[in-house]
A and B are shown apart, each in its own frame.
Chain A
Amino acid sequence: MEDKRELRSLLLATKTGKQLSEYHIKLLQKQNISTAEEFIDADNVHTILALASDTTEEIKRELLNLYVGRIKFKTLYQSQPINYSTGIEDLDKLLDSIGQPFRPGRVWELIGDNDVGKTELLHTLAVNFVCKYGEQQQVLFVDTNLDFDSERLEEILLERKQLSEAAIDRSLDAINVVQATTAESLIAALAALLEKLASPNAKFEAVSRIKVVLIDSLTACYILYRSSYGRNKGRRFLTELAMIIRKLAVQHGIAFIIGNMTFSPDDETNDMGEDEDVDNEGGSTQKSTDAQEDCSFLGDYWCSVCTLTLVLELPDESHCDGDGLRLLKVLNNNFGISDGSCLLRITDAGVI
């Protein structure tokens, strides 16, 4: 019933369609044409209605215009898009060279092995962002592994520049933190954000100032799922998460950087790092160094969610401990060149 009324009201809303009589609409119903789609797809509408095909084509065209929302190209195209700076000089240069400055609405992924400095880099990015744009724009840090350390942030701030106490306080105030240790709570947290932003008086609330969301890390979505049933569940969460992230990115211009851990495929079965079962590892470890393999661990769909994948690695030559040197490589760029790398160093003042 709903559908019929819909076609009817749509028809009445068009200029030519208005001229159709009640009788015509009944005829359509008889031929099982009850939605606008069916009306447009049917080739024999003019014979059914005994009208000139010109008229029905005109109706179809008008229906299509109504049915498919139109967006002016001008609203999509910004002549001067806002570019954020990451605050890390080498990284900015790298991003410039691949034509991918950090912008509102970007969804990026940062992957890397355990303990390679992903959390550190995300902390630094949070600090850099609020230092630069903190007055109007805020950061949301989604903490899934309880790794967030506000004292580390303060340390970075203290180390960085000669900031006054009040300025540090203000910067810390602009970083929002939410703890989400399971996939469910991660989705719930982002859904709540979406809901708050969608509410009509969101403009006056603090939430609307959140422009960057850092997720550290995505592992919460799948790490606890072991069985094949659980893994599918993990995938489902991932899809759900991707949808929410897309909505937030497109509708509200929020930029995302998502931290993620690399797993080699053989890690799943050979997880325990046993000294005994070394034999069956020799061949497969070669693969685990191939990061491309790791990327597809979450499935092809996830690869298309993030438009830029950065990987943080230990440089090959560095053998000396504790120099904090890391290599940041572009692994995948959906919009263009996907090579390039830069060296970063982890210091007391964050990543530079």
Chain B
Amino acid sequence: MEYKTAKNLKAEKSPTITTGITALDKCLRGGIRPGKVYELVGKPGTGKTQLCMKLCLNVQIPRYACGLASKALYFDTRKDFNPARLKELADDLAARLRCTSISAPTATQMLQNVYYVDCRNTAQLVAGLLNCHKYLEKEPNIKLIIVDSISFAIRMVNNVSDRTELLMEVHDGMRKLQLMHDLAFVITNNQGYRRRMSQFQLEAVLGRKHSQLINKRIWLTENECFVGKRAKTKRLICKLLKYTL
């Protein structure tokens, strides 16, 4: 096992995937970074899926625009993926890129670079993640994998201990992929009320082991954006306006 010094690691850093929210990018030091697991948490309708789709496109921003020029893989567990909306977003991004360079990818090309896997149940999600090795061999340029939403898939299982076991398996699978391929994972999660010291608190679901294993958790509410792993320790990053997402 090789030791690397912090200096070498700093030099090795690859470009990042911008989230499109300036303050959030700054907090994440440039955006979503390969090699880490990010989690988006929020109530339904706060723009998690929207942000995921945006990331699928932002990962394709060419090198000259400080992008990663890579492809994305999208695991959808609740049929939330909306190709029409993705097209709109792609058109928007393509138009912006076109201003800077003529060789920018077109919206259609961008849509071709987003791979989509439909997972109707938990087993399919786990199988899909395990199969990623195969996808990645075929398409080594995939740098972003999105799981939307992980809590929906995991909570389909009734037994709590089975859930944890499955979740750990998913994490194990993700870790292995990351070590081999230098990928960024973005997963989405819901929040629920949890009673602690006889008062209800809004927390992200899936438990604390899960929170330990993810690297950064991003909270989205209707008009604010937070970073932090627990409701108590999260920090306000910026106010969001409806149109930023």
Of all chain B residues, the one with the shortest Cβ separation from A222 is B209
- Size category, A interface: 35 or more
Contact partner, B161, options A192, A226, A282, Cβ 8 Å: A226
Q: Select which of B193, B212, B217 is within 8 A of A275 by beta carbon.
A: B193
Contact of B206 among A153, A169, A181, A273 (CB under 8 A): A273
Question: Which A residues touch B230, using CB under 8 A?
Answer: 113-115
Q: Please report the C-alpha to C-alpha distance between residue A94 and residue B215 in the assembled complex, in whole angstroms.
A: 31
Q: Which of A153, A169, A274 contacts B192 (CB 8 A)?
A: A274
> B229 near A271 (CB under 8 angstroms)?
no
Question: Which of B9, B194, B211 lies in contact with A177, CB distance below 8 A?
Answer: B9
With A and B bound together, what is the CA distance between A176 and B5 in angstroms?
4
Query: Which candidate, B67-75, B87-95, B133-141, B195-203, is the interface stretch facing chain A?
Result: B195-203
> Is the CB–CB distance between B4 and A270 below 8 Å?
no
Stretch at the interface among A15-23, A62-70, A140-148: A140-148
Interchain CB contact under 8 A, B195 and A278: yes
Taking CB atoms and an 8 Å cut-off, the chain A residues in 298-351 that contact chain B are 314, 321-322
Which of A49-57, A81-89, A95-103, A261-269 is near enough to bind chain B?
A: A261-269
Chain-A contact segment, one of B55-63, B97-105, B122-130, B233-241:
B233-241
Known: A115-B230, A172-B10, A273-B208. A321 touches B160 (CB 8 A): no
Write the nearest CB–CB distance from A143 to chain B, whole angstroms. Answer: 10
| CB of A45 within 8 Å of the partner chain | no
**B164 touching A114, Cβ below 8 Å:** no
Q: Mark B177-212, 1 if CB is under 8 A from A, else 0.
A: 011000000000000111111100001111111011
Q: Which residues of A contact B208 (CB under 8 A)?
A: 113-114, 261, 263, 267, 271, 273
Output the least CB separation between B188 and chain A (Å): 16
Cα A185 to Cα B179 with chains together (Å): 12
- Beyond A115-B211, A115-B229, A224-B168, whether A153 also contacts B235 by CB under 8 A is no
Q: B147-163 vs A: 1/0 string, CB under 8 Å?
A: 00000000100001101
**Contact among A152, A177, A185, A273 for B3, CB-based, below 8 A:** A177
Alpha-carbon separation in the docked complex, A175 to B236 (Å): 31
Answer whether residue A36 sits at the interface, using C-beta atoms and an 8 A cutoff. no
Is residue A352 within 8 Å, beta carbon to beta carbon, of the partner chain?
Answer: no
Q: Which residue of A270, A282, A322 contacts B160 across the interface (Cβ within 8 Å)? A: A270
A223 adjacent to B1 (CB under 8 Å): no
Selected from A145, A152, A177, A226, the residue in CB contact (under 8 A) with B168 is A226
State the CA gap A181–B1 with chains docked (Å): 12
**Is the Cβ of B1 less than 8 Å from the Cβ of A154?**
no
Chain B residues near A146: list those with CB within 8 A: 35-37, 175, 178, 215
* A272, B192: Cα distance in complex, Å: 11
In whole angstroms, what is the CA distance A172 to B198 when docked? 47
Q: Report whether A278 and B194 are in contact in the complex, using a CB–CB cutoff of 8 Å.
A: yes
Which of the residues B1, B10, B192, B212 comes within 8 Å of A273, measured between beta carbons? B192
Contacts of B6 in A (CB 8 A): 141, 150, 153, 172-173, 175-177
**Chain A residues, Cβ within 8 Å of B179:** 179, 181
Q: Is A38 an interface residue (CB 8 A)?
A: no
Q: In the complex, which residues of chain A have a beta carbon less than 8 angstroms from the beta carbon of B205?
A: 272-275
Residue contact B211 to A145, C-beta cutoff 8 Å: no
Q: Which chain B positions have C-beta within 8 A of A178? A: 1-4
Picked from B36, B212, B228, the residue with its CB within 8 Å of the CB of A219 is B212
Q: Are A115 and B233 in contact (CB under 8 A)?
A: yes
In the complex the two chains form, what is the Cα distance from A227 to B4 in whole Å? 35
Question: What CA separation (Å) do A261 and B213 show in the bound complex?
Answer: 11
Task: Kindly provide the distance from the CB of A193 to the nearest chain B CB, expressed in whole angstroms.
Answer: 9
Flag whether A242 is at the interface (Cβ < 8 A): no
Contacts of A115 in B (CB 8 A): 211, 217, 228-230, 233
Evaluate contact between B192 and A275: CB separation under 8 angstroms.
Answer: yes
Contact A322 B7, CB 8 Å, known A145-B212, A275-B194: no
A267 to B196, CA, bound (A): 13
A138 to chain B, nearest CB (A): 9
Please name all residues of chain B whose beta carbon is closer than 8 Å to the beta carbon of A151 when the two chains form the complex: 10, 13, 29
Are the C-beta atoms of A175 and B1 separated by less than 8 Å?
no
Is A12 in contact with chain B by the CB < 8 A criterion?
no
Q: Contacts A314-B233, A321-B234 hold; do A145 and B213 have CB atoms under 8 A apart?
A: yes
CA–CA, A176 and B7, complex, Å: 9
| Additional pairs, 19, CB under 8 Å, beyond known A178-B2, A263-B209 | A114-B211, A114-B229, A146-B36, A146-B37, A148-B9, A150-B7, A172-B6, A173-B6, A174-B5, A176-B5, A176-B6, A181-B175, A223-B168, A226-B165, A261-B208, A271-B161, A273-B205, A273-B207, A321-B234
**CB pairs A–B below 8 angstroms (10 shown):** A114-B212, A115-B229, A152-B29, A176-B3, A176-B4, A272-B155, A273-B208, A274-B192, A281-B195, A282-B195
Listed in ascending order, the chain A residues whose CB lies under 8 Å from chain B are: 113-116, 140-141, 145-154, 169, 172-181, 185, 188-189, 192, 207, 217, 219, 223-224, 226-227, 261, 263, 267, 269-275, 277-278, 281-282, 285-286, 289, 314, 321-322
4 smallest beta-carbon distances between A and B, as pairs:
A115-B229, A275-B192, A172-B7, A175-B6
Interface residues of chain B, those whose CB is within 8 Å of chain A, are: 1-7, 9-10, 13, 29, 35-37, 155, 160-161, 163-165, 168, 171-172, 175, 178-179, 192-198, 203-209, 211-213, 215, 217, 228-230, 232-236
